[in-house]
Amino acid sequence: MIRAENIFKRFGQQEVLKGITTTFEAGKTNLVIGKSGSGKTVLLKVLVGLFKPEKGRVLFGDTDMVTADKDTMRRLRMEVGMLFQGNALFDSMTIEENVRFPLDMFTHQTLKEKTDRVNYCLERVSLEGVNKKFPSEISGGMQKRVGIARAIVLNPKYLFCDEPNSGLDPKTSITIDDLISGITKDNNITTVINTHDMNSVMEIGENIILLEKGELAWQGHKNEVLHDHNKIMHDFIFASPFLQKLIDQVQHKI
Amino acid sequence: MNLNLVYHFGNFILWQKQIYKRPENNRMYYKETIRQMYDIGVGSLPIVFLISIFIGAVTSVQFYYQMSGTMIPMYYIGYIVRDMTIIELAPTITCLVLAGKVGSNMAAELGGMRQKEHIDAMEIMGVNTSAYLIMPKVIAALLMIPVLVCASALIGILGAYLASVPTGLFTSADFIKGVRSFFVPYNVFMMLVKAFVFAYILTSVSCYQGYFVKGGSIELGEASTRAVVYSNILILLADYVIALVLTA
């Protein structure tokens, strides 16, 4: 479980996060949603310790990431996996080397043990036979899956995904969502996903956190989305004219 | 502007503490150091060879022009070329050129990694990126640049020979006599001190510019340019200070 308490973050004069307090639960897919510029990515970077907030605490269990010294933070980060929006795969390394990198750096396993683990993780994300390829030789969806494989190779307790579906077609997006959701359940990971994708919200949103202008505007389960009348949430989730028409038609039939 | 300079100087000093920390995994650092040694050493050999041979050639021809018709014996040209190459030209010109080649390359590589979030990805894995990405580069440069400078000195003297003896400016015996006259081993020590100091300057300054780059491709280009310009200025300044200190 991760708990963010009263997080304030500003860049110059611009206050980006204004007192966010929320809990990201273990074994659940926690989705952070909101308009562009609402502070989602900043919140994610504060959670993983890439940005230091002006005020507030980020508790990973009992450890406060904000006040932790560098060694504690490094230890804690070994329990964290992250999938970046641009994948952040190392171009000069093969897929196998990319996924193996955390194992090479932090474990003293034999090459065989590491290769077995890499193969297991690649199989887990349904990627086989790409070990020797370079990131530039595979598709965007496959790169995302490699990113996920690398993020889970050290068996993390916490998984962060920044816009995992950006640039992917709807079908591949669903595959990625299912994958992340499955890994979360199987390993009881605390997963935080930053997304714009409404399919993800309705499919895997077990704990949805809506940000609006740096503040927490709404929080709830995907099942509550259709019944709750929070205006900000409705305006955001049903912003698409297609969805709006669909809802109008359903209501008309009822 | 001045405050900015103070900020970057302070940040640079504080950053050094992060770079020289105990590696998470010695084998990974060793592998990266070897890779960097190959890139810096073997990768820079052609340009160092080309520059050194012309430096030597031009020095000998220019000195012949200035000294011919004077009472100074011709073999002095060999002596002057040798000492000029060892004390000044080999370490300084080689490192100025390497600041352009190696320094800008390092700044661009690290800046690209920063922009593609590779550095953030490593940080989140728990890697001390300042150490893993910078320390191998600095160690590789400290090991390879003095070797390149020594090679440059030898090639420079060879260039001087090739430009003057076969063209009949003076005899081979004169040149060799000059090269072997008044040899002071301390000058080689001075050359190596310069090589080490310049190697450290050009790698650490360039890495700093790349590692802390912000923004997009324009800023990356600017960082790469700054890496070369600042390295060159600091190399020239250090050259003067070393000359003052070691010849006092």
Residue B20 within a domain: no
Among A74, A85, A104, the residue with its CB nearest the CB of B126 is: A74
Residue A113 within a domain: yes
Residue A235 within a domain: no
Its sign, for the CA torsion B2, B6, B8, B12, is positive
Kindly give, in sequence order, each residue whose CB lies less than 8 Å from that of residue A8, ignoring residues fewer than 6 positions away: A15, A17, A18, A19, A53, A54, A55, A56
pTM of the model: 0.86
**Which domain, by its residues, includes A130?**
93-155
Measured from the Cβ of residue A9, the count of other Cβ atoms closer than 10 Å reads 22
Residue A82 within a domain: no
**Which domain, by its residues, includes B164?**
26-246
- Number of structural domains chain B divides into: 1
Q: Is B57 exposed, middle or buried (0-12, 13-18, 19+ CB in 10 A)?
A: buried
Between the CA of residue B150 and those of B120, B190, B210, what are the distances in Å?
Answer: 39, 12, 28
- Interface confidence, given as ipTM, is 0.81
Q: What is the pLDDT of residue A241?
A: 76
Residue type for position A159 = L
Residue A145 within a domain: yes
Please name the helix (run of DSSP H) or strand (run of DSSP E) that holds residue B47, with its range, or none: helix B43-67
- Chain B hits for A83, Cβ within 8 Å: none
- Number of structural domains chain A divides into: 1
- Chain B hits for A85, Cβ within 8 Å: 117
Residue A254 pLDDT level (bands cut at 50, 70, 90): low
Q: What is the residue-level pLDDT of chain B in tens, covering all 248 positions?
A: 578 889 999 999 999 999 998 888 899 999 999 999 999 999 999 999 999 999 999 999 999 998 888 888 888 999 999 999 999 999 999 999 999 999 999 999 999 999 999 999 998 888 999 999 999 999 999 999 999 999 999 999 999 999 999 998 889 999 999 999 999 999 999 999 999 999 999 999 999 999 999 988 999 999 999 999 999 999 999 999 999 999 98
What is the rounded CA–CA span in Å between residue B20 and residue B193?
Answer: 21
Q: What is the mean pLDDT of residues A112-122?
A: 94
Residue B213 within a domain: yes
Whether A86 sits inside 8 A of B116 (CB atoms) is: yes
Strand order in the sheet with A207-212: A80-83, A158-162, A190-194, A29-34, A207-212, A215-220
Whether A106 sits inside 8 A of B126 (CB atoms) is: yes
Angle between helical axes of B76-84 and B43-67 (0-180°, round to 10)? 140
Q: What are the pLDDT digits (tens) for A32-50?
A: 998 888 899 999 999 988 8
Alpha-carbon Rg for chain B, nearest whole angstrom, is 21
Q: Taking the mean position of all CA atoms in its chain, how far away is CA A254?
A: 37
Cβ contacts below 8 Å, chain A against chain B, sum to: 51
Whether A104 sits inside 8 A of B121 (CB atoms) is: no
Share of chain A above pLDDT 90, in %: 48
Residue A210 within a domain: no
Residue A209 within a domain: no
Residue A189 within a domain: no
Residue A172 within a domain: no
